Amino acid sequence: MSKKSGKDKDKANSTGTIALNKRARYEYHLEDRYEAGLALQGWELKAIRAGRANIGESYAIIRNGELFLFGAQITPLIQASTHVVADAHRTRKLLLHRREIDVLVGRVQRDGYTVVPTALYWKGNKIKAEIALAKGKQKHDKRDTERDRDWARDKQRVMRRHNKDA
């Protein structure tokens, strides 16, 4: 039996995706993607490590030249600190470079795009949010997406069956 050092334990806990927003891929045409940092409090980080993050209903908004994440739910742990009032739906600041924010502001105001978060993930010991510029899909676009997904699934089944017989 081998013992893991402190660094090995941190690496095991700090890899991979925390939360995905699958609904965003269904509801929107996603175009440009950006990586943004998140300004979090200590209890939020502990809750995210425990797997209590959800970005399914969230969106990003630009106010006073800054980007904020609305609607993301990070459920506090029971053993959270008693002197901190934990708000699961708190507005969190997204951290981007000024030129990236300026590009987002221009595209949102001029071209009618929306900024939606598509994923939360670990990058080293930091939590990053992948945000995307998105245009809303209409009903027929959603049907096309479902049809393409079903066709890809059926095609995969046929190929698997064909390879198994050969």
Tens digits of per-residue pLDDT, 43-101? Answer: 888 888 888 888 888 888 889 989 999 988 888 887 766 677 777 788 899 999 999 99
Residue 89, CA atoms < 13 Å, CB-side half-sphere: 6
Domains of the chain and any CATH numbers: 8-137 (2.40.280.10)
- Please give the torsion angle defined by the CA atoms of residues 82, 19, 65 and 98, in that order, rounded to the nearest 10 degrees: 110
Q: How many CB atoms lie within 10 A of CB 108?
A: 16
Helix ranges (DSSP H) in 3-115: 6-13, 22-27, 42-49, 98-111
Q: pTM to 2 decimals?
A: 0.72
Are residues 38 and 94 in contact, defined by beta-carbon separation less than 8 angstroms? yes
